[in-house]
Amino acid sequence: MSSATAWIANRIKRDQIDKYLEGGRDFIQDEKIWDEINSAREPSKERAREILAKSLEVQTLTPAELAELIQVRDPEMIREMRETALKIKLKVYDSRIVTFAPLYMGSYCVNNCAYCGFKRENETARRRVLSMEEIRRETESLAGSIGHKRIIAVYGEHPLTGVDYIAESMRTIYDVKVPLGKGHGNIRRINVNAAPMPVEELKLLHDVGLGTYQVFQETYHHETYARLHPKGTLKSDYQWRLYAMHRAMEPETGIDDVGIGVLFGLYDWRFEVMALLHHAIDLESKMGIGPHTVSFPRLEPALNAPYVFQSPYRVSDQDFLKVIMLIRLAIPYTGMIVTARETADIRREAIYHGITQMDASSKLGIGSYSEDDGIQQEDRQQFILGDTRSLDELVRDFAKTGFITSFCTAGYRCGRTGKCIMELLRSGREGKFCKLNAVLTFQEWLDDFASPETREIGMKVMEKEINEIREKNPNGFKIFYEFLERIRNGERDLFL
Ligand code: SAM
Ligand code: SF4
């Protein structure tokens, strides 16, 4: 038996799935979801407004309510739904948009997903795993030149990038401090997107400072899942993946921020949206809190993955924005992420449908932040990006429309995670801390990294935000202003 085969043989712990099943079944019942969709009728205006009022109160919708919203065709009502989605975003997250960068650690993978450039059978992929020295260099570029404070570290599923490697890579990233004119640049929050893991491994990731743990189900539809993830591969176990987040939220791991998602384009988007809500509801009821984030990857071209073009379920731009709006209405408290897979135009629109987080200056080639020749290389990356704007451009774009880029990473370091953050989000009080920290970190970023043009527009947003804090939070203003002055005088990484 090769070492990779032996590694695969021992990964899945059946007892860490079975404990969550009910009557031997998982919580995604395909026929029931289709019944929910098909039995719903387009609601009257009055009924639709009743549902929207519930979303605006930051309450999770029921599947029946979401199914009704999916049926809405009336253009006036769709407009109202979009306006409500934006109102919820502003109520819960204010005008903040959190940014991050993806950092791909390795392209080896034991799986064979039909849509992915890293799949085992892609023989033309140039495979590589970053050494700790290379990770240090990548981090120096991200934290020292571009100015990122948070990253999502992405790993293929392979013994070369198993949990010990993941933990060591996280320690390496947190250790990097790049001297700047004032203070230093460093990564303050590492989120991880990696394969499902057993509880023991998840605990190790928590202990080295994990932010959010992300696993996307790709498709919740059992039969489609089985077709796209060949039998005999680790990823073919639907339930091991489905309960990855339940395991992560077991009290013994210590993790309480988890991110779910669907790879849109693999199956009917109406089914997937309903399934995401069922996932959130099951997490809420069994583990006490729902997902910290929902991600919306949409199928992109990838080397030697012709399925991407063959799928009959590719999602149009119009439906994609609708999907985002429906999730903002159905799971109103959750953070929502659209990545640079999408074009700049779609990402701008997505903000008005409820998105709260976006990556910037992204590069997917392994090692390409520090070694890059500026070109996307198909054989070196998982798929091709739609938006290659720099962080500076993105910050400027947001600022022009009144949104503030948040570099705040205080949440998990001062205990505002999990249940605590959910209660703050639901009650609209989260903004009290997060707005202040967003403004403080924005000033820090403008001083350290902004181009003159971005700084000029950014300082106008600062002025507006400072006035708003003075008016709306007079009690917090004094201490906030004291911290702001300290940052302007060169202190770094202060948070309230
Ligand atoms: N290997 C781990 C896994 O599959 O869970 C994590 C890393 S994988 C590189 C991260 C995500 O990329 C996958 O969960 C999938 O949703 C997304 N992805 C894969 N192929 C894609 C494609 N062609 N277009 C867009 N996203 C894709
Ligand atoms: Fe591997 Fe993840 Fe790509 Fe599937 S999606 S081939 S598991 S890297």
Do 446 and 322 sit in the same domain of this protein? no
Q: Where is the domain boundary, 374, 404, 427?
A: 427
Do 423 and 479 sit in the same domain of this protein? no
The 10s digit of each residue's pLDDT in 462-489 is 999 999 999 988 888 999 999 999 999 9
The torsion angles phi and psi of 96, rounded to 5 degrees, stand at: -85, 140
Taking a C-beta distance cutoff of 8 angstroms, is the pair 433, 473 a contact? Answer: no
- Give, using CA atoms, the residue closest to atom 8 of ligand 2: 156
- Give, using CA atoms, the residue closest to atom 4 of ligand 2: 113
Distance 229 CA to ligand 2 centre (A): 9
Asked if pLDDT for residue 373 goes beyond 90, the answer is: no
Return the sign of the alpha-carbon dihedral for residues 178, 181, 184, 190. Answer: negative
Asked if pLDDT for residue 443 goes beyond 60, the answer is: yes
What band does 448 get if pLDDT is binned at 50, 70 and 90? Answer: very high
pLDDT of residue 437: 87
Contacts of 73 by beta carbon, 8 Å cutoff, 6+ apart = 42
Per the structure, the complete domain to which residue 463 belongs is given by 429-488
Asked if pLDDT for residue 365 goes beyond 90, the answer is: no
The 10s digit of each residue's pLDDT in 350-364 is 999 999 999 999 998
CA nearest to 446, candidates 496, 487, 479? 487
Which contacts qualify for 178-182: CB closer than 8 Å, 24 or more apart?
Answer: 178/140, 178/143, 178/144, 180/144, 180/448, 181/448, 182/447, 182/448, 182/490, 182/492
Do 340 and 199 sit in the same domain of this protein? yes
Instruction: Provide the domain count of the chain.
Output: 2
Do 406 and 302 sit in the same domain of this protein? yes
CA distance 143 to 148: 5
216-235 average pLDDT score: 97
CA distance 132 to 57: 47
Quick one: the chain helix, strand, coil %, rounded to 5? 50, 10, 40
Residue 77 lies inside a defined structural domain of this protein: no
pLDDT of residue 434: 77
Q: Point out the ligand 2 atom lying closest to the alpha carbon of residue 229.
A: 4
Distance 157 CA to ligand 2 centre (A): 7
Residue 239 lies inside a defined structural domain of this protein: yes
Residue 17 CB less than 6 A away from ligand 2 = no
Residue 118 CB less than 6 A away from ligand 2 = yes
Do 434 and 315 sit in the same domain of this protein? no
Distance 333 CA to ligand 1 centre (A): 25
The 10s digit of each residue's pLDDT in 378-395 is 666 666 788 999 999 999
To test ligand 1's pocket by mutation, which of 110, 216, 262 has the most ligand atoms within 8 angstroms of CB?
Answer: 216
CA distance 352 to 436: 22
The 10s digit of each residue's pLDDT in 121-180 is 988 888 999 999 999 999 999 999 999 999 999 999 999 999 999 999 999 999 999 998
The tokens of 68 are what? 């009704």
The DSSP letter of residue 342 is: S
The torsion angles phi and psi of 228, rounded to 5 degrees, stand at: -90, -15
Q: Where is the domain boundary, 376, 410, 427?
A: 427
Residue 35 lies inside a defined structural domain of this protein: no
Do 422 and 436 sit in the same domain of this protein? no
pLDDT of residue 304: 86
Residue 481 lies inside a defined structural domain of this protein: yes
Nearest-ligand number for the alpha carbon of 304: 1
Pairing of strands 258-261, 210-214: parallel
Asked if pLDDT for residue 420 goes beyond 80, the answer is: no
Average pLDDT, the chain: 92
Asked if pLDDT for residue 414 goes beyond 70, the answer is: no
Poorest-confidence range of 109-118, 382-391, 446-455? 382-391
407-432 average pLDDT score: 64
The 10s digit of each residue's pLDDT in 84-102 is 999 999 999 999 999 999 9
Residue 442 lies inside a defined structural domain of this protein: yes
Do 177 and 299 sit in the same domain of this protein? yes
The torsion angles phi and psi of 314, rounded to 5 degrees, stand at: -55, 140
Residue 38 lies inside a defined structural domain of this protein: no
CA nearest to 212, candidates 167, 245, 234, 177? 245
Do 434 and 415 sit in the same domain of this protein? no
Q: What percent of the chain has pLDDT over 70?
A: 93
What band does 413 get if pLDDT is binned at 50, 70 and 90? Answer: low
Residue 139 lies inside a defined structural domain of this protein: yes
- Give, using CA atoms, the residue closest to atom 5 of ligand 2: 116
Asked if pLDDT for residue 416 goes beyond 90, the answer is: no
pLDDT of residue 391: 96
Do 174 and 288 sit in the same domain of this protein? yes
Asked if pLDDT for residue 299 goes beyond 90, the answer is: yes
Q: Where is the domain boundary, 383, 404, 427?
A: 427
The tokens of 288 are what? 């006490």
What are the helix (H) ranges across 331-451?
A: 344-351, 368-371, 391-400, 410-413, 418-427, 430-449
Whole-structure pTM value: 0.95
293-322 average pLDDT score: 93
Taking a C-beta distance cutoff of 8 angstroms, is the pair 278, 63 a contact? Answer: yes
Q: Could you tell me the CATH number of the domain that includes residue 294?
A: 3.20.20.70
pLDDT of residue 421: 62
The tokens of 452 are what? 């003159």
The 10s digit of each residue's pLDDT in 56-74 is 999 999 999 999 999 999 9
11-21 average pLDDT score: 97
Do 91 and 182 sit in the same domain of this protein? yes
What band does 33 get if pLDDT is binned at 50, 70 and 90? Answer: very high
Residue 355 lies inside a defined structural domain of this protein: yes
pLDDT of residue 494: 83
Do 442 and 369 sit in the same domain of this protein? no
Q: Give residue for tokens 């919820």.
A: 88
Do 235 and 361 sit in the same domain of this protein? yes
